[in-house]
Amino acid sequence: MIVIMLSEACAPVDRRRIIDTVQFAGTGLRVHTPALLSLSGDHKKIAALLADEPCVLDVAKLPAAYPRSARLKGRPRTTPVPLGNADVGEDFTVIAGPCSVENRSQLLTIAGAVKAAGAHALRAGAFKPRTSPYSFHGLGVPGLRLLAEARELTGLPVVTEVVDVRDIEVVAEHVDMIQIGARNMQNYTLLREAGRTRVPVLMKRGLSASVDETLLASEYLLDGGNEQVVLCERGIRTFESSYRFTLDLGAVAVLKERTHLPVIVDPSHAAGASGRVVPLALAAAAVGADGIIVESHHDPAAALCDGAQALPVGDLPDLMSRLVHACTAAGRSLRFETGDQVRGGGLLDRVHS
Ligand code: PEP
Ligand code: MN
């Protein structure tokens, strides 16, 4: 795959000439944006044809076919994705909350603790993909309404998963970031539909997806015109059975080399047990991830889903302060989300009033 980057200031007449020049030098020419073209063909030949074109910034040969997610010369190293007051990809971002929305008081209690700890966003699933059809599958739309209420009360942006293409619209209406779960990373219809929305998407790496497959999956979102995409490493299946999944932090380093999309880490689903979550979260920050999404619950033993790996909410402040050190080691900053609304337990009083 050859990618041609043009300067934003390229005049339409010059762009037309460039397109005409390369049209027959390769196959499958696509104009992704006015400044980004791609095609298959002989890199040297195409680069030579464009050598004297002043508005061509780069003619790059990609190792794989992901022109829109690839990190290219002339593009920023990371494209930040806004999430409430945070820009994922700038400062280190912490998204925390329960695996699933269980009821109003559970969600608002945890939301208050997430906000008080200085984390940046609340996570919780209203639609849950479960291995067994007999497990709790989430509250559905009433769960989305509770998430919207939690956002209203705390000011925290909310992140939730969509599992069915028929729910994309209603999910997009209620939340600030749509999560595509690991099991759906290769559900291309779902990706295409999420790509048509303009709500930021958090796309998790599939349980057995390679780095290339992950980047190609992100192209479905980007190709639909949704440019606000964050990737998430959450552990892959390997021969090792001592924990739930193998957290592939090497893949985070590789993704940071190859893509301009922010990359965060989910330490919870890899850990499978709460005692392992903090070390994996610190390792994620140290390896250069742009943030974490961590499961946390006020009463893990009573959680309806993934309780064993849920960090007690009382441990969140300590996680946040330890992350500051890991972030410093990695050369980046962690800014605590602040707000008077819930500091000192104000939200909990409002919940119970
Ligand atoms: C989740 O975030 O609760 C979840 C189901 O994650 P994953 O898709 O990574 O298993
Ligand atoms: Mn979970």
Claim to verify: residue 46 and residue 99 sit in the same structural domain: no
Mean pLDDT, the chain, as a whole number?
94
Q: Let me know whether 91 and 41 are in one domain.
A: no
pLDDT of residue 74: 72
Q: What pLDDT digit, counting tens, does each position of 195-243 carry?
A: 999 999 999 999 999 999 999 999 999 999 999 999 999 999 999 999 9
- Do the domain assignments include residue 353? no
Q: Are residues 26 and 143 in the same domain?
A: no
Nearest CA to ligand 1 atom 1: 99
| 166-193 per-position pLDDT tens digit | 999 999 999 999 999 999 999 999 999 9
User: Are 172 and 216 contained in the same domain?
Assistant: yes
Distance 182 CA to ligand 1 centre (A): 6
Does 106 reside within a domain?
A: yes
**Closest CA to ligand 1's atom 3:** 99
Burial class of 262 by CB neighbour count within 10 A (0 to 12, 13 to 18, 19+): buried
Is 123 near ligand 1, meaning CB less than 6 Å away?
no
Residues measured by CB to lie within 5 Å of ligand 2, the ion: 99, 306
Do 273 and 173 share a structural domain?
yes
Domain contains 148:
yes
Average pLDDT, integer, range 70-74: 83
Shared domain check, 265 and 191: yes
- Quick one: 13 and 145 in the same domain? no
Which of 95, 137, 160, 179 to mutate for ligand 1's pocket (most ligand atoms within 8 Å of CB)?
179
**What pLDDT, on the 0 to 100 scale, is given for residue 346?**
43
- 213 and 149 share one domain: yes
Which ligand has the minimum distance to the alpha carbon of residue 303?
2
Q: If you average pLDDT over residues 300-323, what whole number do you get?
A: 98
Range of the structural domain that residue 26 is part of? 2-60
Centre of ligand 1 to C-alpha 206, Å, is 10
Q: Give the pLDDT band of residue 75 (cuts 50, 70, 90).
A: confident
- Please check whether residue 154 lies inside any domain of the structure: yes
Atom in ligand 1 nearest the alpha carbon of residue 100: 3
**Ligand with the closest atom to the CA of 179:** 1
Which pLDDT does position 348 carry in this prediction? 45
pLDDT for the residue numbered 100: 98
Inform me whether the pLDDT recorded for 339 exceeds 70: no
Model confidence at 165: pLDDT above 80: yes
Residue identified by tokens 């909350």 is 97
Tell whether 45 and 180 lie within a shared domain: no
Task: Provide the CATH number for the domain around residue 132.
Answer: 3.20.20.70
Say how many Å lie between the CA of residue 26 and the centre of ligand 2.
Answer: 45
Instruction: Identify whether residues 120 and 52 lie together within a single domain.
Output: no
Residues 87 and 56 in one domain: no
- Answer yes or no: is 210 within a domain: yes
Please state, in angstroms and rounded to a whole number, the distance separating the CA atoms of residues 119 and 117.
6
Q: Ligand nearest 124 Cα, by number?
A: 1
- Determine whether the shortest distance from the Cβ of 99 to ligand 1 is under 6 A: yes
Does residue 56 surpass a pLDDT of 50? Answer: yes
- H helix or E strand, kind and range, residue 293: strand 291-297
Read off the pLDDT of residues 245-285 as tens digits, 9 standing for 90 and up. Answer: 999 999 999 999 999 999 999 999 999 999 999 999 999 99
Taking CA atoms only, the protein residue closest to ligand 1 atom 9 is: 182
Indicate which ligand has the atom closest to the C-alpha of 235.
1
Asked whether residue 287 is domain-assigned, the answer is yes
Within-domain flag for 66? no
Inter-residue contact 160 to 144 (CB < 8 Å): yes
Counted domains in the chain: 2
Burial track 1-36 (b if 16+ CB lie within 10 A, e otherwise): bbbbbbeeebeeebbeebeeebeebbeebeeeeebb
**Rounded to the nearest whole angstrom, what is the distance from the C-alpha of residue 269 to the centroid of ligand 1?**
7
- Beta strands 177-180 and 201-204, pairing class: parallel
Residue 200 is assigned to a structural domain of this protein: yes
Backbone Cα Rg of the chain: 21
For ligand 1, whether the C-beta of 67 sits within 6 Å is no
Judgement on whether residues 55 and 147 belong to the same structural domain of the protein: no
Q: Would the pLDDT of 350 be above 80?
A: no
Burial of 93 (0-12, 13-18, 19+ CB in 10 A): buried
